[in-house]
């Protein structure tokens, strides 16, 4: 399952929780139970309730109580970490909670020039923020998503009041947590992303690929904030995609996604292009590069190039294409693919030493194997010699080990 977040109004911890509960109502009870296990006092309440914003229905998650009479006066990261690890939370949820707080602490430490353990949380030391983070950790553990993505992040504007005085929006710690993510200014002022919301995004390691997730849309959720925004709903929209139907997943293979980059070149010499293509093949994350002759505009002979790469390496591969070839434009996309499950084996072939090979089982149950060509080239010379060694190796089941 892949979960995508649209920050229509922004994001805060309670908005994230509300979106999850709206999409999966059954998560409300374990989320609140985890908050209690982390120490949320009995005189504090936590509940999700229906809400409306700009004509859109969703859920709002409220955590409230007497901030002046909670059990712990300190908001230091060191003490919060100790309390969470000593609580009755499950180890998995406790570890996730501490990891989210760790990201916040590291950002605060960098801003204020302190060590992580010395960081004292001011705005997030109270139970509402602690409960938000523990609830988020519980939700993330419960959902077990394989990936998370987010759209453009609203920048907001103006100033926000903090224990250190008025600070520009987004607040300094929030900005650090959002480093590397794409932001946009939609003209609506105010704090649109809270430090807790930013820490959740950072912990989820959200992607911002220029595409929508592929798969069957299984659930949606709207998590509402408390502010009223001009001209739009103050909400986080959650979209949950089933990227693969487990009931129909074939036993003989696995599906994943791959990046495909394609372009044509008609003004680079063959010998120089060969060097560039080889450099592309050596680029981290690139799986394969193929080229073939085509006829371009004005009857020019050209070379069409296709690069296959891992999704996370698309930007690196695109940069390499522009560096190693003369192209000034290219196309890229994400494609789904199906792979046969393969096994790396070692085989022997008569006088030849052990050779590496890939063995696969095809959908009809037939097992096939192919010896690594580099290994063949080391063990035999000439096409006939390599063919003879390959026949011996691929037919020598007793030689596998």
Looking at the DSSP assignment, which residues form a beta bridge with residue 167? 160
To which H or E segment does residue 60 belong? strand 56-64
* pLDDT of amino acid 21: 98
Residue among 247, 201, 274 at smallest CA distance from 7: 201
Whether residue 201 has pLDDT greater than 70: yes
Query: CA 252, CA 339: separation in Å to the nearest integer?
Result: 9
Instruction: List all residues 6 or more positions away from 193 whose beta carbon is below 8 Å from its beta carbon.
Output: 7, 10, 11, 12, 153, 154, 156, 170, 174, 178, 201
pLDDT confidence bin for 122, thresholds 50/70/90: low
* pLDDT of amino acid 325: 97
Whether residue 120 has pLDDT greater than 90: no
Whether residue 129 has pLDDT greater than 70: yes
Q: CA angle at residue 25 from 21 to 28, to 5 degrees? A: 65
DSSP state letter for 214: P
Strands (E), 97-234: 147-150, 153-154, 159-162, 165-168, 183-184, 216-224
* pLDDT of amino acid 140: 97
Residue showing tokens 């979106």: 19
Omega cis (within 30) before 67: no
* pLDDT of amino acid 361: 85
Instruction: List all residues 6 or more positions away from 73 whose beta carbon is below 8 Å from its beta carbon.
Output: none
pLDDT confidence bin for 340, thresholds 50/70/90: confident
Q: pLDDT, tens digit, for every residue of 244-293? A: 654 456 677 777 789 999 999 999 999 999 999 999 999 999 999 999 99
* pLDDT of amino acid 342: 80
The torsion angles phi and psi of 379, rounded to 5 degrees, stand at -95, -20
The torsion angles phi and psi of 163, rounded to 5 degrees, stand at -65, -15
* pLDDT of amino acid 85: 94
Q: pLDDT, tens digit, for every residue of 47-79? A: 999 999 999 999 999 998 875 544 444 578 888
pLDDT confidence bin for 298, thresholds 50/70/90: confident
Instruction: Provide mean pLDDT across the span 3-21.
Output: 97
Tell me the pTM.
0.65
Query: CA 216, CA 61: separation in Å to the nearest integer?
Result: 27
pLDDT confidence bin for 374, thresholds 50/70/90: confident
- The larger pLDDT score, comparing residue 119 to residue 73, is at 119
To which H or E segment does residue 287 belong? strand 286-295
Residue among 82, 75, 116, 81 at smallest CA distance from 98: 81
pLDDT confidence bin for 197, thresholds 50/70/90: very high
Burial class of residue 245 in the structure, from the number of CB atoms within 10 Å of its CB (0-12 exposed, 13-18 middle, 19+ buried): exposed
* pLDDT of amino acid 326: 96
Query: CA 239, CA 217: separation in Å to the nearest integer?
Result: 7
CB 250 within 8 A of CB 303: no
pLDDT confidence bin for 181, thresholds 50/70/90: very high
- The larger pLDDT score, comparing residue 311 to residue 303, is at 303
Q: Which two tokens stand for residue 205?
A: 């390691």
Residue among 130, 123, 142 at smallest CA distance from 82: 130
* pLDDT of amino acid 146: 87
CB 167 within 8 A of CB 159: yes
Q: Which two tokens stand for residue 44?
A: 């504090």
CATH of range 257-339; options 2.30.30.90, 1.10.10.10, 3.30.70.1380, 1.10.3720.10: 3.30.70.1380
pLDDT confidence bin for 305, thresholds 50/70/90: very high
Of all residues in the chain, the percent with pLDDT exceeding 90 is: 56
CB 194 within 8 A of CB 14: no
Q: Which two tokens stand for residue 218?
A: 């299984």
Every domain of the chain and the residues it spans = 2-242, 257-339, 342-399
* pLDDT of amino acid 357: 81
What value does the mean pLDDT of the chain take?
A: 87
- The larger pLDDT score, comparing residue 193 to residue 42, is at 193
Whether residue 223 has pLDDT greater than 60: yes
- The larger pLDDT score, comparing residue 367 to residue 282, is at 282
Query: CA 216, CA 188: separation in Å to the nearest integer?
Result: 33
Burial class of residue 110 in the structure, from the number of CB atoms within 10 Å of its CB (0-12 exposed, 13-18 middle, 19+ buried): middle
Query: CA 369, CA 383: separation in Å to the nearest integer?
Result: 19
CA distances to 174, 357, 360, 370, 371 from 364, in Å? 54, 21, 11, 18, 21
* pLDDT of amino acid 64: 85
pLDDT confidence bin for 213, thresholds 50/70/90: low
* pLDDT of amino acid 227: 92
């Amino acid at each position: 399952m892949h979960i995508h977040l649209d920050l229509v109004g922004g994001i805060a911890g309670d908005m994230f929780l509300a979106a999850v509960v709206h999409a999966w109502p059954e998560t409300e009870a374990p989320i609140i139970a985890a908050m209690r296990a982390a120490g949320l006092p009995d005189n504090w309440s936590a509940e999700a309730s229906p809400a409306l914003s700009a004509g859109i229905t969703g859920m709002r998650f409220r955590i409230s109580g007497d901030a002046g009479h909670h059990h712990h006066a300190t908001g230091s990261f060191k003490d919060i970490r100790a309390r969470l690890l000593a609580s009755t939370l499950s180890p998995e949820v406790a570890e996730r909670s501490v990891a989210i707080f760790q990201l916040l602490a590291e950002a605060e430490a960098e801003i204020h020039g302190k060590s992580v353990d010395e960081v004292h949380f001011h705005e997030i030391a109270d139970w509402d923020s602690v409960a938000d983070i523990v609830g988020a950790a519980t939700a993330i553990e419960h959902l077990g998503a394989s990936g998370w993505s987010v759209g453009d992040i609203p920048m907001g504007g103006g100033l926000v009041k903090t224990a250190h005085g008025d600070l520009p929006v987004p607040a300094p710690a929030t900005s650090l947590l959002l480093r590397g993510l794409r932001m946009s200014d939609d003209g609506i002022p105010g704090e649109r992303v809270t430090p807790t919301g930013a820490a959740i995004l950072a912990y989820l390691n959200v992607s911002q690929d220029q595409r929508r997730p592929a798969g069957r849309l299984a659930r949606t959720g709207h998590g509402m904030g408390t502010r009223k925004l001009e001209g739009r709903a103050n909400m986080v929209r959650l979209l949950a995609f089933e990227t693969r139907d487990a009931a129909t997943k074939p036993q003989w293979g696995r599906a994943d996604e791959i990046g495909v980059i394609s372009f044509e070149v008609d003004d680079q010499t063959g010998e120089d292009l060969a060097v560039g293509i080889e450099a592309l093949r050596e680029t981290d994350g690139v799986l394969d590069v193929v080229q073939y002759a085509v006829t371009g505009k004005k009857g020019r002979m050209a070379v069409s190039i296709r690069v296959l790469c891992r999704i996370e390496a698309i930007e690196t591969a695109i940069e390499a294409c522009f560096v190693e070839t003369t192209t000034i434009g290219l196309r890229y996309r994400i494609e789904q693919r199906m792979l046969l499950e393969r096994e790396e084996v070692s085989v022997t072939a008569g006088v030849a030493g052990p050779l590496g090979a890939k063995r696969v089982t095809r959908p009809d149950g037939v097992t096939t194997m192919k010896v690594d060509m580099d290994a063949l080239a080391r063990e035999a010379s000439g096409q006939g010699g390599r063919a003879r060694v390959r026949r011996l190796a691929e037919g020598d089941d007793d030689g596998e080990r």
